[in-house]
Amino acid sequence: MWAWERGRGRYPVVKLLYALVVLVLATGCSSGGTPIRYYLVDPQEYGVESEASNLSIELVDLQVPQYLERFQIASRFGENQLVFSDMHQWGENLRKNLIRTMGVNLGRLLNTVDVGTPENRTASKPDYRVSVHIARFERDADGRVRLLARFQVISVASDRPIQSQGVELVSDRSFNSANYSGTVSSMSELFSVLSRRIATMITSLETPS
């Protein structure tokens, strides 16, 4: 009688373990939803064919609004409203990404390897110091990507006044709210244009007046 009771008590335990295994497997299958996708604003290829220069550039700082410091990619939705995507995120802090990309872009545009940034200091004394302030950089409610920024260039070795310029750039295309790949690609292109504007100003300062 005791053996029968012991055996009978074992079956509910087995059934419970079986149910737990099924539950874990079901949970694993159901959790395989849409994965989080990660993006970066990448440097651009410019095809510059000029000779290598000895210019030393220091990107002193690049500032972005606090709402762009979040890993979730921001978009405008209606007037005065932002939305953040949990499924589409930056692969790293956007400000650090932009600093590194700006350094690479300026190096390629000016054909110099001597570009220092807050993330990658250079031992050289800079010929020019660059500061960038970004006021807006996201997909707008109309689907177009907008970049609103201001930058200044300081010629260290000369007595030239500080040169500054405001920039407002808008993508040619509009992107629907689900097209994050196209949105980020457009952001890379607009950021490339901003880099070119800065490089053009530095080149103009290099040209004797």
Backbone region of residue 72 per phi and psi (left: phi > 0; alpha: psi in -120 to 50; beta: other values):
beta
pLDDT of residue 13: 61
| The amino acid at 67 | Y
pLDDT of residue 120: 84
What does the DSSP 8-state code read for residue 70?
S
Structure tokens at 143: 């689907």
pLDDT of residue 86: 97
pLDDT of residue 47: 77
| The amino acid at 149 | A
pLDDT of residue 206: 83
Mean pLDDT by 10 residues, the chain (209 residues): 48 63 53 85 82 88 97 93 97 98 97 92 90 98 98 88 95 97 98 98 81
Alpha-carbon distances of 75 from 55, 70, 92, 135, 185, rounded to whole Å = 37, 12, 17, 14, 15
Q: What CA–CA distance (Å, rounded) separates 10 from 3?
A: 11
Report the predicted TM-score, pTM, of the whole model to 2 decimal places: 0.82
b (16+ CB within 10 A) / e for 21-39: eeeeeeeeeeeeeeeeeeb
